[in-house]
Structure 1
């Protein structure tokens, strides 16, 4: 799945003081002087702001007697050496905490590629997630204002009373918590069936209120925004040539490109030359990175040559999703797609602590820039499972939801359509194969809908060096626990 790589180095820098701090008791050093004050866990906790322009804000938080850095990419458990230095090899970061005063450290200095970056403690509530995203121009907030709706309506039901073999799911949770298995980097697991939330577990310091990167799950959220436009009558036929919705780009949509439909883009079959899977996303030559860093992502994408007939060949493309994002902003008359998520029909879902990164051109990174709480991802899954209904109201056009869940909607690829994946899983216990539809993002971000079982599963994770494992979870643990 696509990874959000724009500003990759800057996001790495945001982890400078973030990666290896643990509380110690003893002396602290400040500007070459030994300070005889006790360093406690609380000495590190607080909000830190970059003194320059090249890094993001972060919190140091305590969860279960451990310290974590919380920044725009999530949470990272931290440790500290005796000399107050810290290092994280995978990010190429070295740093040192300093300025111990009145029982608290006042600053961090981190080094990346030989360049120092400084942070200072500031007086901000560490529960104010918006502080992490306040760097102007980087992200849009598509949360609903607190108090305007109920963002936390889910109540946990008893797993043992609502499953046939609860020990299966309990074993999965125990394996995740032990960190001895392949899914040690799992950050959340939510299981919802037949109108009940059966499991809501968080790992590695995460809690319900913490947003998590959702990566390419953003694509499926974008699909729901298109469905919102259909619901409002602003799109009547997805088989309409996309040039109708993008008149400002008609120069790029000539000849064969003039026949490319909105549906072709939604099915990743526009026929425009694209390959973002051969090279790693961190490779500067990856086309997805080039598109994100371009001055106009839509012009960049539409300006590429055709190499297939529209509608016939699948090519996974973040650029295609950027094009659809501009259709959304045009038809909704909102500045960005994220603004439509905030003010359009999906506002009824009452997302909280929800942010969406922008690309260089200021457009929403609809292909991979979303940050959401897993409990809000569950709302998306429930909306899909219930045919677009939410709290007894038809929020999204029912036919749109049915088409999104239908693996035949894309006649040339039964595995993908309308920015949703289609997969199957065999369960030995029943000797049966179950079809599931899922929004899937790099690192283990998933919203899974198993319509036959009335089931939604949400996972977030940080497994960025391996493939997703939701299929194994479904086949070995979750579905066997829920069927007779």
Structure 2
């Protein structure tokens, strides 16, 4: 990755200096890192103090540390976008025929759930959060069994796949958006059955190694399934590499990693997945594709489209094709709102345009 300067890509240095000071002073709650890649150069990289993530601590805040370039950070639901990339690669490599296949083609141990309309759930439905399965991940507080994703970790760790598939079908697959991290965990099992490799091995062989990412960690359930909904830990620069790959239509340093078609599918709103408000964010209304969020920014009369991987607490990989730019954030805003869109709207876009 080539290091450059703000001046080389015409980013206003005074505005960016002001932003750095505001982040350092906590004006945007806890931002742990911010990186900007523009026009083939890493031109902004800043790390700040903040709390490590700790599930059983007040506000989920553990030790107070100085984050740095070598520190792996929980990327939470940004993990889902990495799993989407792995599914796209598996299709490209022939492990999976296509995203329209029934999920039960790759779940031999769960055929008893292939009934009552669930047989129509496809891989694409899991990727786009439109499986139709009843699921409450946003409406119920964390730390309670009413929150379905927390229940997987507390009550269903011996078989999280069953925990997802036993849910009732509340709508026709493909029609309604319901945020469902459990569906992404099922995708991890599908990937394992299709390729003969677990998620850690597959992602290492076909994604991370090719991107020069040599340090990753995952959480596994008691039965060995991987928590593909949000347990991946990565360094900020490694998150940036992934974003650059999608900015470059699936290529990293001249090598095709993910097909261009899959990048297009990922960054395009699926069906009725529009006008979605995400709890804990200032992102407004969003669209959702193949496990990537979509947004539009308005600046000085210009509409700018972006797509991004997003995670609880202020983790984000924002891709701006129109500006040839990727922005990465990590943060610790688990019990407070993240203000990443305010940063982009009030500082980055005015600095760039």
TM-score, normalised relative to structure 1: 0.65
Contact 2:9 2:39 in 1 (8 A): no
Tell me whether 1:365 sits opposite 2:237 in the alignment. Answer: no
The answer to which structure, 1 or 2, has the higher relative contact order (CA under 8 A, 6+ apart) is 2
Specify the SS of the correspondent of 1:198: strand
Determine which structure has the larger strand proportion and give its number. 1
Tell me whether 1:312 sits opposite 2:172 in the alignment. Answer: no
Contact 2:267 2:307 in 1 (8 A): yes
Unaligned 5+ segments in structure 1 are 1-153
Unaligned 5+ segments in structure 2 are 50-65, 275-286
Partner of 2:134: 273
Specify the SS of the correspondent of 2:164: helix
Specify the SS of the correspondent of 1:250: helix
Contact 1:444 1:461 in 2 (8 A): yes
The CA RMSD measured in Å over matched residues stands at: 1.4
Give, in whole Å, the separation in 1 of the partners of 2:4 and 2:225. 40
Stretches of 4+ moved more than 6 A in 1?
none
Deviation at 1:219, TM superposition (A): 0.7
Give, in whole Å, the separation in 2 of the partners of 1:468 and 1:440. 11
**TM alignment of 1:44-123, pairs within 5 A:** none
Contact 1:425 1:471 in 2 (8 A): no
Contact 1:288 1:318 in 2 (8 A): yes
Partner of 1:411: 271
Give, in whole Å, the separation in 2 of the partners of 1:411 and 1:282. 32
Partner of 1:81: none
Give, in whole Å, the separation in 2 of the partners of 1:465 and 1:303. 30
Specify the SS of the correspondent of 1:251: helix
Partner of 1:450: 320
Contact 1:352 1:376 in 2 (8 A): no
Deviation at 1:164, TM superposition (A): 4.3
The size of the alignment, in residue pairs, is 323
Residue by residue over 1:421-451, the C-alpha shift from the partner in whole angstroms, topping out at 9 and shown as x without a partner, is 1112222xx2223221111111100000011
Specify the SS of the correspondent of 2:317: strand
Give, in whole Å, the separation in 2 of the partners of 1:271 and 1:341. 28
Give, in whole Å, the separation in 1 of the partners of 2:119 and 2:250. 32
**Match of residue 298, structure 2, among 407, 426, 447:** 426
**Match of residue 201, structure 1, among 43, 46, 49:** 46
Partner of 1:116: none
Determine which structure has the larger helix proportion and give its number. 2
**Match of residue 2, structure 2, among 150, 155, 177:** 155
Tell me whether 1:168 sits opposite 2:28 in the alignment. Answer: no
Residue by residue over 1:176-198, the C-alpha shift from the partner in whole angstroms, topping out at 9 and shown as x without a partner, is 1223x1x2411100000111101
Deviation at 1:346, TM superposition (A): 3.6
Tell me whether 1:478 sits opposite 2:352 in the alignment. Answer: no
Contact 1:156 1:200 in 2 (8 A): no
Contact 1:292 1:360 in 2 (8 A): no
Contact 2:206 2:257 in 1 (8 A): no
Specify the SS of the correspondent of 1:275: coil
Tell me whether 1:290 sits opposite 2:154 in the alignment. Answer: no
Distance 1:279 1:169, change over 3 A: same
Moved more, 454-463 or 232-241: 232-241
- Considering only CA atoms, is the larger Rg found in Structure 1 or Structure 2? 1
Moved more, 380-389 or 243-252: 243-252
TM-score, normalised relative to structure 2: 0.88
Specify the SS of the correspondent of 2:134: coil
